[in-house]
Structure 1
Amino acid sequence: MPKLLSKTTIASIAIAATAIGTIYLTSASRGNNIVNSSNSILAKDNSSPATLVSIWDKETEPNYSGTTEMTVYRSPNCGCCSVWVEHAQKHGFKIEDIKTDEMEALKQKHNIPPELASCHTTIIDGYVMEGHIPVDDIKRFLAEKPDMVGLAVPGMPIGTPGMEAKDIKQPFQILAFNDKGEVEVYKEYQSY
């Protein structure tokens, strides 16, 4: 049985990172005709179509056969949330993308403890998924169908899906929480 965490511990885990809205691009292979920029690799002649390249693109749960329809609630002004939505779509999820200025009320409605809050909230198969959770972990959680409210990645850790920035990868935990406010570590990423 995983160890339950105190609210103080959870609060110290939450990383208050700034949304930086970085774009990560690469070009189709054209020999050595590529140039490195601060956050991307682009063809020198810019003639190649750019595509998102992410460590999170690799699917590790390919046999998932559960629900693929999810509703994502996010601020209309949040760029990192739209990158996370693209991450989920690449892994076969169909997204109802709802932009709202009522995020605080939505989080209260779904009983998300404030110390677990992040920038976007996803509802799928009756579960709440808060923040920048890798979708393969969501797939695994949904397949297990635990007696929990959902998962959360508190704050906005740099390196998570939608929050990638160069080679910066902050350690982070995916936390599972129940309707009693109890929280446990579901998965931990130290180096990835």
Structure 2
Amino acid sequence: MHKIIVAALAAAVLGAGVYITNASLAVAEEVSLYKNPQCGCCESYADYLRENGFTVTVKPTHELVAMSREAGIPDDFQGCHLAFIDDYVVSGHVPVATVNRLLSEHPDIKGVTLPGMPMGSPGMSGAKTEPFTIYAVGDGKPSVYAVE
């Protein structure tokens, strides 16, 4: 009798594990990533997102600054590419942990941005020299969303 209970518990746990895995695969997000046609680091960031379960379509454009402004990202907070994921905008080389947090928490913001092209950030070469400050953007002034 004891073996049957242990076997049933193991099956339940393993079954839950399979369900959770399948659920996480089901929520893989589609990403439209807009970038300057000549930018290679943006392609590396797209690959980084793909390696982390996202489906990414890269769309070259010369209108990145205007698109970023329209998305609510002030000029001095813009990254080098612009991604649209779910109902959010992600600007720059934002680490996937922050992207996943954004998608799971669903905050009332337009999106997040990692300004510039920090060395060692996802998709960028070089060594990380300091924590990355990722900002939330919305209708007001950008505020710190995460520090990684």
**TM > 0.5:** yes
User: Is 1:138 the equivalent of 2:99?
Assistant: yes
The alignment partner of 1:92 has SS state of: coil
Counterpart position of 1:173: 133
Equivalent residues in 2 for 1:53-132 (5 A)?
64=24, 66=27, 68-132=29-93
Q: Return the TM-score normalized by structure 1.
A: 0.61
Where does structure 2 lack aligned partners over 5 or more consecutive residues?
Answer: 1-20
Pairwise CA RMSD of aligned residues?
1.7
For residue 168 of structure 1, report the CA deviation from its aligned partner. Answer: 4.2
Amino acid at match of 1:184: S
Counterpart position of 2:142: 183
Identity, in percent, stands at 37
Q: For 2:65 and 2:76, how far apart are their aligned partners in 1?
A: 13
Spell out, residue by residue over 1:134-188, the C-alpha distance to the aligned partner (whole angstroms, 9 max, x if none). 11210111100000110000111111001131x4433320111212x32221111
Q: For 2:102 and 2:66, how far apart are their aligned partners in 1?
A: 25
Cα contact 2:121–2:128 (8 A) shared by 1: no
Q: For 1:171 and 1:152, how far apart are their aligned partners in 2?
A: 14
Cα contact 1:158–1:164 (8 A) shared by 2: yes
Structure number with higher relative contact order (C-alpha < 8 Å, ≥ 6 residues apart): 1
For residue 67 of structure 1, report the CA deviation from its aligned partner. Answer: 5.0
Q: Return the TM-score normalized by structure 2.
A: 0.78
Q: Return the structure number with greater helix share.
A: 2
For residue 122 of structure 1, report the CA deviation from its aligned partner. Answer: 0.4
Length, aligned pairs only: 126
The alignment partner of 1:98 has SS state of: strand
Q: For 1:168 and 1:126, how far apart are their aligned partners in 2?
A: 29
User: Is 1:164 the equivalent of 2:125?
Assistant: yes
Structure 1 residues 140 and 66, CA, compared in 2 at 3 Å: closer, same or farther?
farther
Moved more, 107-116 or 126-135: 107-116
The alignment partner of 2:49 has SS state of: helix
Cα contact 1:159–1:170 (8 A) shared by 2: no
For residue 105 of structure 1, report the CA deviation from its aligned partner. Answer: 1.8
